[in-house]
Amino acid sequence: MRKEIVGEITSLSSEKQKEIIMRHKENGVLFPIESGIFVGENVRLESGCVILPGSVLTGNTCVSKNCHIGPNTWLYNVSVGEGTSLNSVQAYDSKIAEGADIGPFVHIRPGSEISDRVHLGNFVEVKNSTIDCDTKVSHLTYIGDSDVGKNVNFGCGCVTVNYDGKAKHRTTVGNNAFIGCNTNLIAPVKVGDFAYTAAGSTITQDVPEDALGIARARQVNKENWVKEKKPYKNM
């Protein structure tokens, strides 16, 4: 946890925190349960927002109208667009646009921009990346140092492999692309518009527009291998 965040939280008395929450309530923000919520002095909340327990809003965070924040969401210097839902999200120094549906258990790291109506599902991490409108990243995926287009679908267990041990490299995914489950995109690499990657592929070369990228070994079945090798304890 950043020292500046801890300092901000510990610097405000409980009385001051009650004053801040009351001010937001008078401006049309709903706190169904006020205990377990922290709102910093510089945080801006617009009317119609619902702030649920376990939410910690700090820094220069700004939440637009009709957003649902929480439960268990931590925002630091984050801009949130109108009508967005954040459930069990930690986000820092980033922008989230309108109508996004994010969570649970999502980590948005600094330098990220999440566009309108993007869905980030459980156990997704985004770092220093842009994700354009209507893209879906539903579960168990890491997107780092990447530029992702509109209406892209990421399957489960995908990774943009951005670090070679010395330097970070960027991945580009075009509009309407489909990234199959358990795909590794080895940066720097580009996936074109409407391109597909086959599940289980490790993509090291660009995938052209409208193409299918397959990068996996061909399956071989060895008949009667279990009977011959007897690998199990009870055999």
Distance between CA atoms of residues 183 and 156, nearest Å:
9
Burial environment of residue 92 by CB neighbours within 10 A (0 to 12, 13 to 18, 19 or more): buried
CB distance 199 to 183 below 8 Å: yes
Burial environment of residue 30 by CB neighbours within 10 A (0 to 12, 13 to 18, 19 or more): middle
3 state SS of 63: strand
Residue 139 designated active-site = yes
- Residue of 68, 107, 139, 169 marked active site: 139
Report the catalytic residues: 139
